[in-house]
Amino acid sequence: MSDASTGTGKVVVNRSMSLDGFIAGPGHAMDWVFDFMAPDEFSEIAAATGAMLIGRRTYDVGNRMAADKPGSTDYPFSGPSFVLTHRPPDPPDPEVTFLTGDIGEAVATARSAAGGKNLEILGADVAGQCLRRGLVDELLVYVLPVLLGDGIRFSPPGLARIDLEPVSSTRSGAVTILRFRVRS
């Protein structure tokens, strides 16, 4: 775990969630998120983020969304992005570093690149791996006022109990923003 007082950022799982517990709809659809929040709405969180570690499926879905609606997924983040995958694309995206291998090594690499700021974790599988290994400091959850009924659940099956400490609860328009610290 990290300590913000020493200048080392936190590892933060960041996700939007429907009220019925889905982070993506059927077919991994995530476009519904932008019905409730604009990508640039949370510039303070983006400013605290030094690097992102993203799962390959989330990376692919984000690219499809950006191609379908240019500008719709622009998040005001300018640091390095890492994608954890078993199959790097060919040709690779020059704006992204593709990592293979152990989740602990991937987190260490991305945290080092974060320059003392937070490492944001995006993607159900990568987040689940980080939670299983005790690599997460905080969960930042945007609860959206929608019931999806089906899709990708907030946490993967088989994840053991993890106790959380509430840090904050705020609202931004229709979105409820919850922040939890992972208890060690």
Q: Percentages helix, strand, coil for the chain, rounded to the nearest 5?
A: 30, 30, 40
Q: Can you give the pLDDT at residue 85?
A: 92
What is the rounded distance in angstroms from the CA atom of residue 54 to the CA atom of residue 42?
18
Cα dihedral value 27, 33, 34, 36, nearest 10: 150
Q: Which two tokens stand for residue 53?
A: 């570690």
User: Cα angle at 18 between 13 and 23, to 5 degrees?
Assistant: 45
Residue with the larger pLDDT of the pair 14 and 35: 14
The pLDDT of residue 61: 79
Q: What whole-number distance in Å separates Cα of residue 95 and Cα of residue 155?
A: 29
What would the mean pLDDT of 101-128 be, rounded to a whole number? Answer: 95
Backbone dihedral region for residue 151 (phi beyond 0: left; psi -120 to 50: alpha; all else: beta): left
Structure token pair of residue 105: 């090594």
pLDDT tens digits along 58-111: 888 777 776 666 655 556 678 899 999 998 888 888 889 999 989 999 999 999
Contact 61, 28 (CB under 8 A): yes
Place of tokens 């949370």: 42
pTM: 0.87
- Which residues on neighbouring strands pair with residue 144, listed in sequence order? 18
Q: Which of 101, 2, 91 is nearest to 51 (CA)?
A: 2
